A = this chain, B = another copy of it.
Amino acid sequence: MLSVNERRLWDAHVAMGAIGALPNGGCCRLALSPEDKSGRDLFVGWCREAGCTILIDDAGNIFARRPGFDNDLPAVATGSHLDTQPHAGLFDGIYGVLAGLEVFRALNDAGITTRAPLETVVWTNEECVRFSPPTGGSMVFAGLLPVDEFHAERTIDDTSVREDLESLGFLGPPLGHERHPFDSFFEAHIEQGPILEGERMTIGAVTGIQGARMFEVEVTGQDNHAGTTPMAMRRDALNGAARMALKLNELANAQDSAIRLTIGRFDVSPNAASTVPGSVTFQIDLRHPDDAVLDRVEATLRRLLDETARDQGLELGVRDICAIPPVHFDRTLVDLVEDKARALGLPTMRMLSGAGHDSANLAAIVPTAMIFVPCAEGISHNEAESATASDLAAGATVLLHVMIERAGIV
Contact = CB atoms under 8 A, between A and B. Distances in A.
A176 interface: no
Given A86-B270, A274-B128, A260 B354 contact: no
Interface in A242-291: 242-243, 245-246, 249, 252-253, 257, 259-278, 283, 285, 287
Nearest to A193: B228
A272 B380 CA distance: 13
A10 to B, nearest CB: 22
Contacts of A380: 224-225, 228
A227 B355 contact: yes
A169 interface: no
A87 interface: yes
Interface in A207-264: 210, 212, 214, 222-233, 236, 238-239, 241-243, 245-246, 249, 252-253, 257, 259-264
Given A257-B230, A287-B226, A272 B264 contact: yes
Contact of A227 (B192, B246, B269, B321): B192
A134 B225 CA distance: 14
A38 interface: no
Interface string A35-70: 000000000000000000000000000000000000
Given A228-B193, A229-B193, A285-B227, A271 B275 contact: no
B192 A381 contact: no
A382 to B, nearest CB: 4
A302 B222 CA distance: 28
Interface in A355-402: 355-356, 378-383
A260 B191 contact: no
Count class of interface residues, chain A: 35 or more
A265 B261 contact: no
Contact of A264 (B222, B257, B274, B287): B274
B381 A230 contact: no
A269 B85 CA distance: 11
A225 B192 contact: yes
A198 interface: yes
A249 B232 CA distance: 11
A303 to B, nearest CB: 19
B85 A270 contact: yes
B228 A239 contact: no
B265 A224 contact: no
A128 B268 CA distance: 17
A194 interface: yes
A230 B195 contact: yes
Nearest to A259: B231
Contacts of A379: 222, 224
A380 B276 CA distance: 10
A187 interface: no
Contact of A266 (B128, B212, B277): B277
Contact of A381 (B224, B232, B245, B382): B224
A228 to B, nearest CB: 3
A144 B360 CA distance: 64
20 contacts: A85-B270, A87-B269, A87-B275, A127-B272, A128-B273, A192-B227, A193-B225, A195-B230, A225-B378, A226-B260, A226-B262, A231-B252, A262-B274, A263-B277, A265-B272, A270-B381, A273-B285, A273-B321, A275-B381, A275-B382
Q: Would you list the 8 A-B pairs with minimal beta carbon distance, nearest first? A: A193-B228, A228-B354, A227-B354, A226-B262, A227-B355, A242-B242, A86-B270, A223-B382
Given A226-B260, A266-B271, A275-B381, 9 more contacts: A192-B225, A212-B227, A226-B354, A227-B353, A238-B266, A239-B245, A239-B249, A264-B271, A265-B271
